[in-house]
Amino acid sequence: MNFTEEISTNPLIMVLLYEPSFSYLLNFLIKKKGVLLVPLLPTLERISLNPQFLETHLTVFNPNDNRQFLTYNNKIGVIVPKSKVFLIETDSNFRWDQEMQLSKTFQNKTLIRTLNYFDGKTKNKKEKTNEKTVNILKKFALETVRGQNITVAFISQPLQITKIKLKKTKNNKKSKSKTKNKARTSTSTSTSTNKSTSTSTNIDTNTDINPNQKRRKKKKNVKGNMDPGNQIIKTMKPYLNQPEVQKLLEKIDTFCFKIKNSKRKDFNKIIQKTKRFIKKVRKQLPLEKIYIDKKDNKVKKQQISIFIIEIIMSQCSMYLVSILIEKEKQNDARYFNYFQKLNWIRFKHLGIPSKYHQKDVLLQAQRKLHEINFEKTPLQKLKCIQGVCLILLQLFNGKLSNADKFFPILIYTILYSNTKQLNTNLLFIKIFTNSTWLSTSSYGVYFSNIVSAFNFLKNLKHSDLKFVDRNLFKKLLNSKHQNRNQNHNHNHNHNHNHNHNHEHEHDQNQSHNQNQNQNQNHSHNHNHNHGHNNQNRKLRQQKLLNRSVNTLNFGKSPISFQLTKDNNEAIINKNSDLQTSQSNQKENKSKIENNDQNNEHQNVNDVDNNFQFKNITFDKLKFTQIPILLNDYNNIIEKIINLKKEIREKKLK
Amino acid sequence: MKKQKVVLLGKGRVGKTSIFKRFLQNEFHDNEVTTIQPQYLEKQVKVNTEKVTLSIWDTAGQERFRGLNPLFYRNSKAAIMVYDITDQESLDSLEDWLAELKNQVGHKIVLMIVGNKSDLKKKRQVSIEDAENLAKKVGAQHFCVSAKTGENIDEMFHELAKRVMKFVKENKTPLNTTKSRRNFALVNEDVETKKKKKKNNDGCC
């Protein structure tokens, strides 16, 4: 399959072309010799659509008849005005030869501005479940296949609500067994974590159960999984159509516009402005008119303010965060460097017992913590933090975790994830969330846990650590030969293998022998081979790529999938690692060998571009592998530039 | 009535988590059982006809993590200071916790001093008098409980809820705003103790 061909036919890729980060993704894939996975024959058939979906996925309208539109798949659709449902009626190869124009009604609306979550709808009136929709359109997710250093971008089809069953993961035992199964079984595809409740819901597809039963189960589960953030938005939803609330929304829009276009970049003033605005708006809002029923008293002022903040932040957060980042630039850099210096800290220094040394879980949590940079609103950021904590709680096998046990683990994950701008993110949350609301919700606990863990690392003393006295602490902190494995930790989105080795190093290099560390690092990271110019170039390229990738938003929930081949190899690697842990002398040698193997492996992969994926299915959709070539990339970039120009011109007009 | 924040404080291994669990699930297992949100739980308590929701925060007890707890104290209306009746040190350390609490919270809160592990009477090291003296000194109420047998747990929380309700009604102005924080600046101990003598165990510090 040719990529350029695929572009002209595949609606999902067409949609993604409008996404600025998609070009970065393609760039990354080409450099990494990666692969793009796209559903075989993605169609928009049999899906009744809502306007949001139209905005993002369907653009071309019949200039003669505004009700008719053409999908990217060349299917004709018709808008049914009364029912407000958009139906795709017929299959045909019909094309409009005339100049295609966008309908006036949809002209102003932009394509994929936010992370578009498709609200699934069904045709039957009974099944219209506007409020109970599950948002699950993942644009793309990036994964590395274990054992193989092949990067895979994975684009999924928007799924229908009828096919989804929400599963609680109350019993951590279950989820743990799942993860075990994942490691063993081949070709298993699963989705982990979703927007609704970070890690607390797993979405599985299931077609065996009757739809009625499903609905009942869904209802129960949704109630059970309700977290305070979702509750607020859900309770506010029914009121959105009321004229008072709509006036409010208009005001908010104008306010956001003003903020975005303000020339002053004094952050404190902007904060004061927004806070004043929120107070004002809250006072102006006639609560009595809005809440007619007595039952509605549940929606209180506090909730409204959170809701207003959410709306404002969804529009202005990028701007505000960018200012805050500029302001906190020095601090961020300082903490980042300081945490890098602390990477000699091991489990035993923090007093973490060996039963909690589960690297998979810790890595997962570290990855989750990186997502905080991509979340927009404070509530979403809080959910991300909650997700990190919930992942870590898997370590306790469902037993009640003690703060004394949990805290060191959290500190460890923060230290080794070393998320850039964690400081600014925490500040951002602190500024824009209601402190009283935080103090009486579960988010507050997780937030204060993470803040205090961060503070612990910031003000670390030798007395806080075990087996370290003052002199040793100073020595280790000031030693020039620091492990620079943090680069790998940063890239753990892409390199599982490296991380495994890296983790082992942490466990086993307890002698603090700097020379040994140095040797290992040199063998482990080809980053430090200063002698070779070519490698230096590669290094730079890699760094650039990593930067670009770190700034990307790969969707809220990466889709994990594993393959038989790769799993076997991953297990083999693990075993070899375990063997190495038996003796210190053997350890170094075998590690070097392992690293060499890895390097060789990478080289092989660089050459071998014909790697075949087997039976990748997700929600009954089969996926194809599309290798992307440089020529393709150039064409695509041109296309993207043209598209952007067109959009700009349209806006100007 | 709104949710009221309560913090559990005390030295490590005194049984904070067990008390916390015992109250909210009315269960005790030697091997602690699952909870959805560890370190944070909510429960409604009925006092006469009114209901109060207590949102209880568990904190870390280890010495090295003590400096991190201030964040957990924020906006709290009550604190349960737990000691172990078989460990004299745990009671002695409570004074440090109290000093820190006063420094950090900056306004009056309801205090409870709770001696856990009352089922281990044979191993008792802490005399009840000592504990009660401390409670009087700080204006708290003293309880002896056992998370294992469930003895006095419900009573203690019921009393706490009662005091919290009373406290909130007395101080109707919002405690959480910056202005109110200034208003509720800590009262000097001397003044406080005089008040307590008059009111006979008022329960507020």
DSSP string, A281-326: HHHHS-HHHH--SSGGGGS-HHHHHHHHHHHHHHHHHHHHHHHHHH
**Shortest distance, CA A535 to any CA of chain B (angstroms):** 45
User: What share of chain A in percent tops pLDDT 70?
Assistant: 35
Residue A77 predicted with pLDDT over 70? no
Query: Distance from CA of residue A99 to its chain's centroid?
Result: 39
CB contact B107 to A (< 8 Å): no
Distance from CA of B25 to the nearest CA of A (A): 12
C-alpha span between A262 and A412 (Å, rounded): 41
Are B65 and A172 a contacting pair at CB < 8 A? no
Global pTM reads: 0.55
Quick check: A439 and B60 CB within 8 A?
A: no
CA distance A646 to B3: 54
B127-138 burial, b at 16+ Cβ within 10 Å, e below that, comes to eeeebbebbbbb
Q: What mean pLDDT is predicted for residues A543-569?
A: 31
CB neighbours of residue A336 within 10 Å:
16
Query: From the candidates B1, B4, B65, B109, which should be mutated to test the interface with A, based on the most A CB atoms within 10 A?
Result: B65
Cβ contact A52:A58 at 8 Å? no
Contact A439 B21 (CB under 8 A): no
Q: List the single residue in B with minimal CA-CA distance to A464.
A: B64
Contact assignment for B40 to A439 by CB distance below 8 Å: no
Q: Do B64 and A442 touch (CB under 8 A)?
A: no
Cross-chain residue pair B75–A400, CB shorter than 8 Å: no
Q: Considering only CB atoms, which chain B residues are within 8 Å of A399?
A: 31-34
Structure tokens at B104: 């950090």
Distance of CA B108 to the CA centre of its chain: 13
For chain A, the first-to-last Cα distance in angstroms comes to 38
pLDDT at A533 over 60: no
Q: Is the separation of the CB atoms in A431 and B66 below 8 Å?
A: no
Res B172: pLDDT: 66
Q: How confident is the model at residue A232 (pLDDT cuts 50, 70, 90)?
A: low
Enumerate the residues of chain A whose CB falls inside 8 A of the CB of residue B168: none
For residue A157, give the H/E element and its range. Answer: none
Q: Which of A476, A602, A494, A588 is nearest to A546 (CA)?
A: A494
Residue of A nearest to B67 (CA): A456
Q: Taking CB atoms and an 8 Å cutoff, what residues of chain B touch A393?
A: 38
Ranking A243-252, A347-356, A599-608 by mean pLDDT, the lowest is: A599-608
Q: What does the pLDDT read at residue B194?
A: 44
Contact A346, A506 (CB under 8 A): yes
Q: Tell me what pLDDT residue B111 has.
A: 92
Give the separation between CA A101 and CA A107, rounded to whole angstroms: 9
| Measured distance CA(A90)–CA(A73) in Å, rounded | 12
Half-sphere exposure of A359 toward its Cβ, with a 13 Å CA cutoff? Answer: 18
Q: Which residues in chain B have Cβ-Cβ distances shorter than 8 Å to A463?
A: 64
Tell me if A406 and B38 make a contact (CB, 8 A cut-off).
yes
Q: Is A440 helix (H, G, I), strand (E, B) or coil?
A: coil
Say how far apart CA A327 and CA A313 lie, in whole Å. Answer: 18
Higher-confidence residue of B174 and A368: namely A368
Could you list the pLDDT tens digit for every one of the 205 residues in chain B?
678 889 998 888 888 888 887 876 664 444 333 334 667 888 888 888 888 888 888 888 888 887 777 788 888 889 999 999 999 989 998 988 888 888 888 778 899 999 999 999 888 999 999 999 999 988 899 999 998 888 888 889 889 999 999 888 888 644 444 333 332 222 233 334 444 444 554 444 4
Which residue, A514, A500, A472, is CA-closest to A575?
Answer: A500
**Range with lowest mean pLDDT among A115-129, A590-604, B88-102:** A115-129
Nearest-Cα distance to chain B for A448, in Å, is: 6
Task: Give residue B84's pLDDT.
Answer: 92
pLDDT for the residue B25: 66
Which of these, B56, B48, B45, B50, lies nearest to B19 by C-alpha position?
B56
Among A200-204, A297-301, B114-118, B173-177, the range scoring the smallest mean pLDDT is A200-204
pLDDT at A425 over 80: yes
Is pLDDT larger for residue A133 or for residue B106? B106
Six-digit token string for A424 = 């600014």
Name the closest residue on chain A to residue B15, using Cα atoms: A402
Q: Which residue has the higher pLDDT, A318 or A613?
A: A318
Starting from the edge strand earliest in sequence, which strands make up the sheet with A35-39, in order?
A141-144, A151-154, A35-39, A621-627, A617-618
- Chain A nearest CA to B174, separation (Å): 10
So what's the pLDDT on residue A345?
87
Question: Within an 8 Å CB–CB cutoff, is residue B32 touching chain A?
Answer: yes
**A401 Cα distance to chain centroid:** 27
Task: Quote the pLDDT of residue A69.
Answer: 59
> Do A334 and A383 meet the contact criterion of CB atoms below 8 Å apart?
no
A443 has pLDDT over 60: yes
Substitution target in B3, B9, B40, B177 with the highest count of A β-carbons within 10 Å is B40
Alpha helix ranges (H) inside chain B: 16-25, 70-73, 88-105, 128-138, 153-170, 178-183, 189-199
pLDDT of residue A179: 36
Q: Are strands A85-90 and A151-154 parallel, antiparallel or unpaired?
A: unpaired
- Contact across the interface for A403 and B61, Cβ inside 8 Å: yes
Answer positive or negative: Cα dihedral of A555, A556, A561, A562: positive
Q: DSSP letter string over A44-57? A: -TT--B-HHHHHHH
**Are the beta carbons of A123 and A48 closer than 8 angstroms?**
yes
**How many Å lie between the alpha carbon of A19 and the closest alpha carbon of chain B?**
37
Residue B37 touches chain A, beta carbons under 8 Å: yes
Kindly report the CA angle at A635 between A631 and A640, in degrees rounded to 5? 145
Token pair for A213: 């039963």
Subunit contact B39:A445, Cβ cutoff 8 A: yes
Distance, in Å, from the CA atom of A255 to the CA atom of A236, rounded to the nearest integer, reads 20
> What mean pLDDT do residues A264-271 have?
75
Contacts of A148 (CB under 8 A, 6+ apart): A565, A566, A569, A601, A605, A611
Give me the pLDDT at residue B26, please: 62
Q: How far apart are CA A586 and CA A64, in angstroms?
A: 77
| Interface membership of B10 toward A (CB under 8 Å) | no
Average pLDDT, chain A: 58
Of A295 and A24, the one with more pLDDT: A24
Report the distance separating Cα A417 and Cα A606, nearest Å: 28
Q: Does A493 score more than 50 pLDDT?
A: no
Name the one residue in this structure whose structure tokens are 């999938």.
A561
* pLDDT given at position A568: 28
Higher pLDDT, A150 or A629: A629
Least confident of A261-275, A297-311, A617-631: A617-631
B56 → chain A, closest CA residue:
A440
pLDDT band at A414; cut points 50, 70, 90: very high
Confidence of residue A37 (pLDDT cuts 50, 70, 90): low
Exposure class string for A353-367: b at 16+ Cβ within 10 A, else e? eeebbebbbbbbbbb
Nearest alpha-carbon partner for B157 in B202, B112, B204: B112
Residues of A in contact with B10 (CB under 8 A): none
For testing the chain A interface, which of B39, B56, B168 should be mutated: the one with the most A CBs within 10 Å? B39
Pick from A206-215, A298-307, A358-367, B194-203: least confident: A206-215
* Cβ-based burial of B80 (10 A; exposed 0-12, middle 13-18, buried ≥19): buried
The encoded tokens of residue A609 equal 């571009």
The pLDDT assigned to B81 comes to 93
Q: What is the pLDDT of residues A82-98, one digit of tens each?
A: 443 444 444 444 444 33
A212 Cβ partners below 8 Å, 6+ apart? none
Under the banding of pLDDT at 50, 70 and 90, the label for residue A234 is: low
Which of B5, B23, B58, B68 is most worth mutating to test chain A (most A CB atoms within 10 A of its CB)?
A: B68
When pLDDT is averaged across residues A562-573 and rounded to a whole number, the result is 28
The residue among A167 and A633 whose pLDDT is bigger is A633
CA distance A85 to A77: 11
Residue B75's nearest CA partner among B113, B106, B42, B38 is: B106
CATH topology for the B4-173 domain: Rossmann fold (3.40.50)
Nearest-CA distance A237 → chain B (Å):
23
Please tell me which residue, A589 or A571, carries the higher pLDDT value.
A589
Instruction: Provide residues of A within 8 Å CB-CB of chain B.
Output: 170-172, 393, 396, 398-404, 406-407, 435-436, 439-442, 444-445, 448-449, 451-453, 455-456, 459, 463-464
pLDDT, position A625: 60
CB-based contact B39 A403, cutoff 8 Å: yes
Direct distance between the N- and C-terminal alpha carbons of chain B, in angstroms, rounded to an integer: 22
Mean pLDDT of A601-611: 35
Task: Give yes or no for B23 touching A (CB within 8 A).
Answer: no
The pLDDT of residue A266: 75
- pLDDT at residue A609 in the model: 36
According to the model, what pLDDT value does residue A465 have? 86
The pLDDT assigned to B112 comes to 93
For residue B178, give both structure tokens. 């910056």
Q: Which of residues 47-76 of B touch A (CB under 8 A)?
A: 55, 57-62, 64-65, 67-69, 71-72, 74-76
- Locate tokens 């019949």: which residue? A62
Strand-pairing partners, residue A578, are: none
Cβ distance A307 to A236 under 8 Å? yes
Residue A612 has pLDDT above 70, yes or no: no
**Global ipTM:** 0.80
**Inter-residue contact A86 to A56 (CB < 8 Å):** no
For residues A457 and A411, the answer to whether their CB atoms sit within 8 Å is yes
Domain map (residue ranges) of chain B: 4-173, 174-205
Kindly report, residue by residue over A635-653, the tens digit of the pLDDT. Answer: 777 777 777 777 777 767 7
* A158 three-state secondary structure: coil
pLDDT of residue B83: 93
Q: If we measure between CA atoms, which residue out of A364, A366, A347, A367 comes closest to residue A355?
A: A347
Contact B17 A406 (CB under 8 A): no
Question: A154: which strand partners?
Answer: A37, A141
Q: A169 to chain B, minimum CA–CA distance in Å?
A: 10
CA distance B13 to B89: 12
